[in-house]
Amino acid sequence: MKTLIHNAALLSFQEGLRKGGNALLIENNLIRAIGSYDELQPLVDGNTLQIDVDGRTIMPGLNDTHIHIWKVGNLKTYMLDLRGASSLEEMLDTIRDYDRKYPDLEWIVARGFNEAGWTNNRLPEKKDLDKIVPGKPVYVIRTCAHIAVANTAALQFAGVNAATKIPDGGVMHLGDDGEPNGILSETALGLVANHIPPYTKQQLKHMVLAARNEMYRYGITAATDPAVDPLLLEAYKEMNEAGELGFRLNAIPILLPDGGEEPYPLPELFESSFLRLNTVKFFSDGGLSGKTAALKRTYKNSTERGVLRLVAGQYRQLCKLALEKGLGIATHAIGDAAIEFVVDIYKEMHALFPNSIRRIEHLGLPEQKHLQEMAGNGISASMQTIFLSELGKNFIRYLDEDYLSRCYPVKSVLDHGILAALSSDAPVVNNFNPFKGVYAAVSRKDDQGNLIAGGEAISIREALQLYTGNAAKISGVKEFGKLEEGMLADFIELEKDPLSTPIDEIPELKVVNTWVDGKIAWSA
């Protein structure tokens, strides 16, 4: 099967893209040729489908290198979404109404609140949840997923009290009475979360498909799920075997579960056209928006420095075991203390396994020396400028001027020659449209219009490269990420050229068609 797409404005970001080409010839699932319409005519036969795209821009499919796919779908299917709650009272009313609508649920599980946008800026506690749902377990996850609040019924069900042993890297907050006030953070989340009835594989598959539809709408044809547990991995493998994925998935299994001291078994390397597994995941700290990212000095107007979750000896050992098996390593590290901890271990691993994948997920507050060491030791970064949009108000509230001036410093990362990609970490953010991420990388503004580290702005072209070619490289992929002969035919049609679009209009840029494997997977 051949398809000739012509009258197109071709946009790709690798060196050597031929100027003047306006046509793509697709054969089966590959780009066979690129050139002018007339030049490609000798390759066309009577069965070739020819499509005139009326001058629309065609560029490689977008690649989100850090998105919790099933969790995005969960908020569209089985979990209550609280990301629209503008106050504690609105959040509580939403939970109360949900309980009345679904009275037979054994647990109420919700996610998405962000107290930084509320008038009193305080975290909810168990006493707040007890007022609205006193007799049923309620577990409410903050938007960052590093903090959660449980009501009394949930704590009792899980057997959590003041004498409960807290796992390394976790915090259980206590009230004035010396008892848990319901707030848990980092590894302590597992004390309650591990007692919530688990989803089935079929439910997980349903969530993935629900998320995929929104990914298509945003032009995302490839994605990395960076915290896959064994059951989710089984679901992904079954979907891949059945031909149900429909996007290029890089699955990164997590090794250390929250609330548990024993690691999961190391997974096996796996590679197919739609599913790849070549890296494992660790968490070294929390998030900036909830003051759990590990800092060298305190958060503004606070005594808190965040939480360092990993124990050096165990982390070093697990990294080495993974690398010996041919797997790469990816570690969540946001605060400068956590980044330094991870970079020091990665330097050791670079000396032993110089050609391995060593990613840092997020890289929120690196110091100059960290960037120099990353560049010198082949350490890459998957970053989220899109955080500036929705979480910028938190950063401004919690970070001093020095920290704020180097928050998610993408330009400095690129200037050091570090391989980097952009991503969303959805559902930490509600709107994970990559063009919103591009806008944030270029404008450096939050949704309230505040400028954050303006000197770290990059160009639209650079940002798009970080969502395409660089995003493929960081995952060790060579088969897609650019328009080139022999590449997989995964690309998108845009209503207009993003390079000539005013920056303030970038977030509203519309995808007309999303192509995967040489076929239209979604159409506006």
pLDDT tens digit sequence for 199-226? 999 999 999 999 999 999 999 999 999 9
State the chain's mean pLDDT as an integer.
Answer: 96
Are the C-beta atoms of 236 and 249 separated by less than 8 Å?
A: yes
Nearest to 316 by CA among 352, 355, 279, 286: 352
Q: Are strands 491-494 and 511-516 parallel, antiparallel or unpaired?
A: antiparallel
- The confidence score (pLDDT) of residue 119 equals 85
Q: pLDDT tens digit string along 429-447?
A: 999 999 999 999 999 999 9
Can you give the pLDDT at residue 16? 63
Q: What is the pLDDT of residue 367?
A: 98
Query: Can you give the pLDDT at residue 358?
Result: 98
pLDDT score at 136 = 96
- Domain covering 79-193: architecture: Roll (3.10)
- Residue 101 neighbours by CB under 8 Å, 6+ apart: none
Amino acid, res. 178: G
Residues of the chain falling short of pLDDT 50: none
| Predicted local confidence at residue 15, as pLDDT | 74
> So where are the chain's domains?
2-55, 63-68+199-479, 79-193
Return the pLDDT at 257: 85
The CATH architecture that domain 63-68+199-479 belongs to is Alpha-Beta Barrel (3.20)
DSSP 306: -
DSSP state of 119: S
Architecture of domain 2-55: Roll (2.30)
Amino acid at residue number 419: L
pLDDT of residue 17: 66
Is pTM beyond 0.75? Reply is yes
Residues 6+ positions from 143 with CB-CB distance below 8 Å: 83, 111, 112, 113, 114, 289, 391, 427, 428, 429
The Cα 257–Cα 155 span in angstroms is 19
Give the count of beta carbons closer than 10 Å to the beta carbon of residue 198.
11
Query: Given this model, what pLDDT does residue 360 score?
Result: 98
Give long-range contacts, CB 8 A cutoff, 24+ apart: 149-154.
149/123, 149/124, 149/125, 149/182, 149/183, 149/184, 150/126, 150/182, 150/184, 150/192, 151/126, 151/182, 152/126, 152/182, 154/107, 154/192, 154/195
